[in-house]
Structure 1
Amino acid sequence: MTDFSDVFDTEMVGRWAAPGRVNLIGEHTDYNDGFVFPMAIDRTTTITVGRRDDRLLRVASTFEDGLHEMSLDALDPEAMSGWSAYVFGIAWALGQKLPEVLGLPSAASALSGAMGLDIFVESSVPVGAGLSSSAALECAAAVCFAELWSLDVTRQFLASVGQLAENDAVGAPTGIMDQSASLLGQADSAVFLDCRSLDAEVIGLGFGVASLELLVIDTHVEHAHATGGYVERRASCEKGAALMGVPSLRDLDVDDLPRASSILDDVTFRRVRHILTENQRVLDTVRTLRTNGPGAIGPLLDASHVSMRDDFEISVPELDLAVATSQDAGAIGARMTGGGFGGAAIALVPTALRDAVSAAVLDAFAAADYREPTIFAVHAADGAHRVD
């Protein structure tokens, strides 16, 4: 396999890694200033980095031949495309946010003291599975840049840098959940995040003690966040908030649903209903973990999937089959995870039933003549960090 030394002649100065994430519950609530509850997982993107003596950023990877480069003096979202935009976009976003911190006159020159880098990317986070391979790459780059360019910033700040990069450099109108999970995650825990205040609390999960496993069922149905249904769903949420007379759907709760049903058209109402009930399910999940333990959160996971399937309409038949089959085979709860329109489902299962649930899903997909899914367990892991 190609590695850093095969591509670059600079001396390697370090390696940084950041995890993908599974969102336990709280889907599409993040860009509505709501609540989310993701966990970092033990699948990571790792970058190996060398210093340059000029102003070039150069990036290469194991998953594509060739080399991408861009000068720190010419960072421009219009000139970025493909997977390298996630790396270049982080550098650009830092330049947008840090002129005052660095004592420089304008965002355009905010990185004038930074030197170029050679960056080699490898990843064990499945692409297109809803496990946020993009945020893993962004966050690995963010913690690397912060260290090598001596930036005194918090992890919450770096999460906002990642969101800006994804929104404006990549062109995907995502919220801040993925980057927060990848940066703030801890082992055996999930991150309870208020996407309005950005207050974050690490909540212990206790899956191991309860003899539970979280299975990821990657359907291999591809999705693209930067286009199509994701953009439409966000627009529906903004329309619903405007018609209800509030800045954001966060300013409403489930008690507002009767009024919403009298004001909104059917489609917009169902989109709004998903967000309001999903926010409540996040709160209920955190409360249930604290009071009754992880074995009691299954019905909330199930209800979340129904809401995404019927109200938000972001599921696909393969995800529905994965969820229903897991439930029938003994999962205590299951739901699709991620932005939807493909990707992965998750199932919280007793460890003793892990193999049986996996086999049942494989059999069901074969019977439906669907592409064979990839099924694997994930464990809550620490956030982005320097490896060596």
Structure 2
Amino acid sequence: MKTLSETQEVALTAARSAAAAMESIRWVYSPLRICLLGAHVDHQGGDVLGTAIDRRILLAFSPSPDAQVALCSRDYEGRVCFSADAPPADLSPAWGRYAAGAAVALNRRWQLSRGIRGGIAGEAPVGGLSSSSAVGVAYLLALEHANALDVTPEENIELDRVIENEYIGLQNGILDQSMILLSRKGALTAMDCRTGEYAHIPPGNDLPDFRLAVIHSGIEQALVSTGYNRRVAECQEAARLLLEASGQPPRERPLLGDVSPELFAEYGHRLPTDLAKRARHFFTEQERTSAGRAAWAAGDLRRLGALIAASGESSITNYECGTPALIDLVRILNGVPGVYGARFSGAGFRGACFALAAPDAGPAIEEALEREFNPRHPDLAGRWRLDLCRPDEGARVL
């Protein structure tokens, strides 16, 4: 019998607490994700380049004999209980809202008759790797399995959007769940977030071995509001003003993806300073994403890393996200031997940064953080964590 990992054991213990039928346990492996390029553009219909990684959210579950949902978590207190056929508009404990949102999204098309009983646990700290999307996808796949629903990955991308945009109220795009659901081991996934079209890009023949070094900062809550939804609104306002300046008719939800680079070059000087910076990040990030796709296909990690580092700097100076600690973390990483390029993973207000790195770069990264990061941020010394990850397959039920 295969030995279970520590996280699997924890998820099983949580499943027992939720009265799951242990003889009928199934697993959802829902991976975390890294967006190598395409930072902060998915909500504007931009192009992104990313992958799932070999760190996952694990959900151990059994189908319920009725519509009852019962869940326990390794990381959060309380037991979540509701009926899958009539999920509540709000829920306590709050961590269960993703499960309720999954039921809400599925009930719009199918009438759920069976719930799940299960336990959930993560293989990495929360923050920066889209654990919330991974959790939402895990609940979707488990409820679909329990109700014998045949749902495509593309349909699940939209269902997870409903969870996050409409039920939770976070105005993010489709990057996170797309990488979680569509990734294929060994390839990067390129997606046009306006059309939903995607492609798996194989690496160049001479691509060196590498790792995706994820540094969890230890920051669990931002010192101030993250401003995520405000940044989305600023991008939309920049799009509205640019389209208006060019004489185009108003749109219900203007996006920078609706604006051509030529139009921005002609009318961008009319934007207020902050909005001009948001738009500048969008258009330069689109250039970097296209160039990064070519670099990966050519097996050129140095070129890809330089583009990742430039993306990180634009996130700081143009998109204006990041706490002082995370900004320091990115800039320290970009000076470490063996690191090709680093930037925030996620919005940059809490959680993680990542670096495209050589396989043996771990000790140099840890030494640099102990030497430079710890003295600047003694409150985070001993709290950060390094994981050397690899690209992995998308979410699945086992």
Contact 2:47 2:192 in 1 (8 A): yes
1:153 maps to which of 147, 151, 154:
151
1:195 maps to which of 181, 193, 198:
193
Q: Which residue is equivalent to 1:355? A: 363
Per mean C-alpha deviation after superposition, the further-off stretch among 70-79 and 212-221 is: 70-79
Give me the whole-angstrom Cα distance separating, in 1, the residues matched to 2:96 and 2:392.
Answer: 25
Give me the whole-angstrom Cα distance separating, in 2, the residues matched to 1:30 and 1:268.
Answer: 17
1:380 maps to which of 388, 391, 394:
391
2:214 maps to which of 213, 216, 220:
216
**1:165-188 C-alpha deviation (Å, 9 max, x unpaired):** 011222211111111111111222
Give yes or no for the alignment of 1:295 onto 2:302: yes
Q: Which residue is equivalent to 1:276? A: 283
Per mean C-alpha deviation after superposition, the further-off stretch among 352-361 and 279-288 is: 352-361
Aligned residues: 372
Contact 2:189 2:200 in 1 (8 A): yes
Contact 1:49 1:119 in 2 (8 A): yes
Deviation of 1:163 (Å): 1.2
Change in Cα spacing, 1:341 to 1:9, as seen in structure 2 (3 Å) is: closer
1:48 maps to which of 60, 66, 73:
60
Contact 2:49 2:188 in 1 (8 A): yes
Change in Cα spacing, 1:64 to 1:337, as seen in structure 2 (3 Å) is: closer
The AA in structure 1 aligned to 2:73 is S
Q: Which residue is equivalent to 1:92? A: 104
Change in Cα spacing, 1:29 to 1:223, as seen in structure 2 (3 Å) is: farther
What are the residue-to-residue correspondences of 1:136-175 with 2, within 5 Å? 136-175=134-173
**1:71-90 C-alpha deviation (Å, 9 max, x unpaired):** 12322333466221111111
What are the residue-to-residue correspondences of 1:68-147 with 2, within 5 Å? 68-79=80-91, 82-96=94-108, 98=109, 110-112=110-112, 114-128=113-127, 130-147=128-145
Q: Which residue is equivalent to 1:322? A: 329
Give me the whole-angstrom Cα distance separating, in 1, the residues matched to 2:177 and 2:114.
Answer: 25
Q: Which residue is equivalent to 1:107? A: none
Give me the whole-angstrom Cα distance separating, in 2, the residues matched to 1:343 and 1:205.
Answer: 29
The AA in structure 1 aligned to 2:15 is F
Q: Which residue is equivalent to 1:7? A: 18
Give me the whole-angstrom Cα distance separating, in 1, the residues matched to 2:18 and 2:85.
Answer: 23
Change in Cα spacing, 1:144 to 1:328, as seen in structure 2 (3 Å) is: same
Q: Which residue is equivalent to 1:28? A: 40
The AA in structure 2 aligned to 1:115 is R
Give me the whole-angstrom Cα distance separating, in 2, the residues matched to 1:253 and 1:280.
Answer: 12
Deviation of 1:359 (Å): 1.3
- Find the residue that maps to 2:171 and give its secondary structure: coil
The AA in structure 1 aligned to 2:106 is L
Deviation of 1:253 (Å): 4.1
The AA in structure 2 aligned to 1:127 is V
Deviation of 1:17 (Å): 1.2
Contact 1:206 1:294 in 2 (8 A): no
Deviation of 1:352 (Å): 3.5
The AA in structure 2 aligned to 1:56 is Q
Residue identity (%): 27
**1:313-368 C-alpha deviation (Å, 9 max, x unpaired):** 10222222222222222222111121221221111222243311221123211221
What are the residue-to-residue correspondences of 1:336-355 with 2, within 5 Å? 336-355=344-363
Contact 1:14 1:49 in 2 (8 A): yes
Deviation of 1:262 (Å): 2.5
**1:168-209 C-alpha deviation (Å, 9 max, x unpaired):** 222211111111111111222221111111111112347995
Give me the whole-angstrom Cα distance separating, in 2, the residues matched to 1:366 and 1:326.
Answer: 13
Q: Which residue is equivalent to 1:241? A: 239
Aligned-residue RMSD, C-alpha = 2.2
- Could you tell me the TM-score, scaled by structure 2's length? 0.87
The AA in structure 1 aligned to 2:333 is S
- Could you tell me the TM-score, scaled by structure 1's length? 0.89
Give me the whole-angstrom Cα distance separating, in 2, the residues matched to 1:385 and 1:174.
Answer: 23
Q: Which residue is equivalent to 1:102? A: none
Deviation of 1:7 (Å): 3.4
Deviation of 1:261 (Å): 2.9
Contact 2:79 2:93 in 1 (8 A): no
Give me the whole-angstrom Cα distance separating, in 1, the residues matched to 2:331 and 2:107.
Answer: 47
**1:107-148 C-alpha deviation (Å, 9 max, x unpaired):** xxx315x212212111113212x0111111111222222222
Give me the whole-angstrom Cα distance separating, in 1, the residues matched to 2:360 and 2:393.
Answer: 26
Give me the whole-angstrom Cα distance separating, in 2, the residues matched to 1:346 and 1:144.
Answer: 30
The AA in structure 2 aligned to 1:37 is L
Contact 2:62 2:118 in 1 (8 A): yes
Per mean C-alpha deviation after superposition, the further-off stretch among 277-286 and 242-251 is: 242-251
The AA in structure 1 aligned to 2:86 is A
